[in-house]
Structure 1
Amino acid sequence: MEEATIFCARYLDDVESKLNRPVRLQEGPLSTGKSKKLSASKLYQAYRFILDNMESIHPYREHSHWDNRQVQVEGHKNFVDWFRSHINMLKRQNVHLDEEVINLAFGPLPDVTCYPAFGVNGYKFKTKAVEATRTTQNSGVVTVGDESKLFYGVIDEILAIQVPKMKSTVLFKCTWYDYREGLGWKKDDYNLISINTSRNSYIDEPFIYPSQVRQVYYSKDPKNQNWSVVCHWKPRDTYEVPEEGQHTKEEIEDEEINYVQSIDPCIPSKGITIDDGNIEWVRKDMGIGTFVSQKDLKGAKSFIGKNKKKSQIIQHAA
């Protein structure tokens, strides 16, 4: 009966139902935030991350007195202090500077806004603390690093950092798990990735933009207490459309096969023809077939007829 009901709901595609209702997920903070003062060390880390990802700051990273090693090591640690003093020196010399660069040199304010939940890219993210009293997971994240490495973690805080005269910047403060194979992650014979949640990395680089992550959830390994299996998923109504010529014919056919296999069997498939005046109620693709009694057949046809008339009346009234 459930299969017939869902089939009828999909047949009446001009009538809104739970199957075709679009997902309405708000982008941005999903609740009211609370203000707090961020510690000096965390504020410095957030400030450094913002500078590292601002295009207008890139020209100032090329310090003529540093070699490549100094830029990679000392520049990462000391660039913030050098940048602020360098901009102040240029201002005293009356050098024309971009307004954004001047504002960034001032630095962020210590007062930040904390949010428990945030929506982006069709995902609803929540902090690890929010999950403590719930059965669902929304704090797991994954991002792609250098050389296409995957970095897994959980969200500890969702912070809005404010730089004077600029829009606030929302950052996820995360705990990142060890990315080294064997120590931090491993893959089993079924290509399932497990993460060692007892080992952390990048402790001094906890921040990331919400747009740079996707959501995952972790399933505890019953045989290994410190390990969890990673589960990836895509939000509803989100599709990856390849560019023209991006995939070969074989890859497209494989994707179509996987897509068909993932469709609920109640959706019309081969052997079920749909026509305004001819509806075949026997599924020929199921071996011996699934037969519908005359009583159920009359009831289903009556249901479709009534709802089609109702839909026509609604459209006429509109």
Structure 2
Amino acid sequence: MYLVERYMKILKGYNKNPHRPEASIVERYIAVEAVEFCLDYMSKAKLVGIPKSRHEDRYEGKGTKGQKVKFILRKELLQAHLYILNNTEAVLVYISENQDFLKKNNPRMNEKSLVNEHNKTFLKWFKEKVFSDDSFSNTLKCLTNEPKYNVFTYTGYDINNFSFYTKSQDDNSTMQNSGVTLQAQSMHFSSRNDKNLVVTSTSYYGVIEDIWEISYGAFKVLVFKCKWVDINIGVRTDEMRFTMVDLSKVGHKDEPFIMANQATQVFYVKDPIDERWSVVLQDRSVHNFDDSTAQFWESLSFSTRMPTNNKEIEQDDVHATRNDHDEGI
């Protein structure tokens, strides 16, 4: 009874015309109901406008082209395995522990030799460390074992809101999707004889050769096998501060792998003056292309500044005026 009386009070508040109270209440009631219905409907409706890209929200990843099973040689697989360990957060503390252990036991060993010794011994040391203590997580225990030699390979994979292709797939496609860059902390030695290690933040540029889904049993890790441009002789910045790369200058052959979730897509546009060099562009202007749809966004480059043109815009009527005759319009 209380609810009815309360609702009657609400309806009474709808009366804005004392000469036509019933009609006024009904009209206001219909208006309120219509607005509430529209708000509820619109909250569940899709927005009208540019269609949503099929690559959006694909952060976890999905294979799109050329799935196959491939047998990988042990040497190459362990190379990818070591990279995964060096870039897994739960393993980093043990990497530091192993490095400290090597320094303590080899006080006269230089930095370059310590890095090489770490790469040679870490896999065995890490496995012994984990299996000596039952408190380690199942993830770490899986990572101590060598991954399976049969891996799923793809020629196309969507991840990080990008659609990545291998270079071989790119050669058969109308789009370029194999370019990749990685911002990484890298360790350098200035020469073969240099023993002093220098750690810097460096941008690497390359193309994807293979896409591997490496299985550890309980989980899988996606990696890109890339052909990297030698940053010493194949990367430069031109006078307009655009990043330029020479894709024929291949380097870093001992470290071809990156984890797919680290990758950012880039695109290479040949320099019309010198075709050996290509301009690096980031953020694809075409995210999705097939026979029926093309979606366009503005493309951004790696240049930190763009040239400005201060000339006034010419008026069309002046630009198109002829002065070789006196005919009227």
What's the TM-score, normalizing by structure 2? 0.60
Secondary structure of 1:218's aligned partner: strand
Matched residue type, 1:157: D
Partner of residue 280, structure 2: 230
Question: Identity, % of aligned pairs?
Answer: 28
Structure 1 runs (4+) greater than 4 angstroms displaced: 14-17, 234-239, 285-289
How far apart are the structure 2 equivalents of 1:37 and 1:101? Answer: 24
Secondary structure of 1:154's aligned partner: strand
1:286, distance to aligned residue in structure 2 (A): 11
Partner of residue 202, structure 2: 149
Q: Do structure 1's residue 23 and structure 2's residue 53 form an aligned pair?
A: yes
Partner of residue 215, structure 1: 265
1:296-315 to 2 correspondences below 5 Å: none
How far apart are the structure 2 equivalents of 1:170 and 1:154? Answer: 16
How far apart are the structure 2 equivalents of 1:87 and 1:38? Answer: 26
Per-residue CA distance 1:27-50 (angstroms, 9 max, x = gap) = 221236111111112101111011
1:119, distance to aligned residue in structure 2 (A): 1.0
Matched residue type, 1:56: A
Partner of residue 105, structure 1: 144
Q: Do structure 1's residue 178 and structure 2's residue 230 form an aligned pair?
A: yes
1:148, distance to aligned residue in structure 2 (A): 3.8
Q: Do structure 1's residue 133 and structure 2's residue 167 form an aligned pair?
A: no
Q: Do structure 1's residue 39 and structure 2's residue 95 form an aligned pair?
A: no
Per-residue CA distance 1:127-178 (angstroms, 9 max, x = gap) = 00111223321000111122442110000011100002x2111111111111
Residues 286 and 222 of structure 1: CA distance in aligned 2, closer, same or farther (over 3 Å): closer
Partner of residue 7, structure 1: none
Q: Do structure 1's residue 76 and structure 2's residue 119 form an aligned pair?
A: yes
More strand by share: 2
Partner of residue 193, structure 1: 243
Per-residue CA distance 1:204-226 (angstroms, 9 max, x = gap) = 11111222121111122344453
Matched residue type, 1:78: T
Residues 15 and 158 of structure 1: CA distance in aligned 2, closer, same or farther (over 3 Å): closer
How far apart are the structure 2 equivalents of 1:223 and 1:77? Answer: 46
Aligned length: 227
Matched residue type, 2:126: F
Partner of residue 30, structure 2: none
Secondary structure of 1:136's aligned partner: coil
Secondary structure of 1:135's aligned partner: coil
Matched residue type, 1:221: D
Task: Indicate conservation of the 8 Å contact 1:36/1:113, yes or no.
Answer: yes
Secondary structure of 1:149's aligned partner: strand
Per-residue CA distance 1:278-315 (angstroms, 9 max, x = gap) = xxxxxxx99899xxxxxxxxxxxxxxxxxxxxxxxxxx
Secondary structure of 1:57's aligned partner: helix
Larger of the two Rg values belongs to structure: 2
Per-residue CA distance 1:57-105 (angstroms, 9 max, x = gap) = 22322135311835533113331232224434x16xxx53322221111
Partner of residue 206, structure 1: 256
Task: Indicate conservation of the 8 Å contact 1:140/1:216, yes or no.
Answer: yes
1:266-305 to 2 correspondences below 5 Å: none
Task: Indicate conservation of the 8 Å contact 1:122/1:238, yes or no.
Answer: no
Matched residue type, 1:33: Q
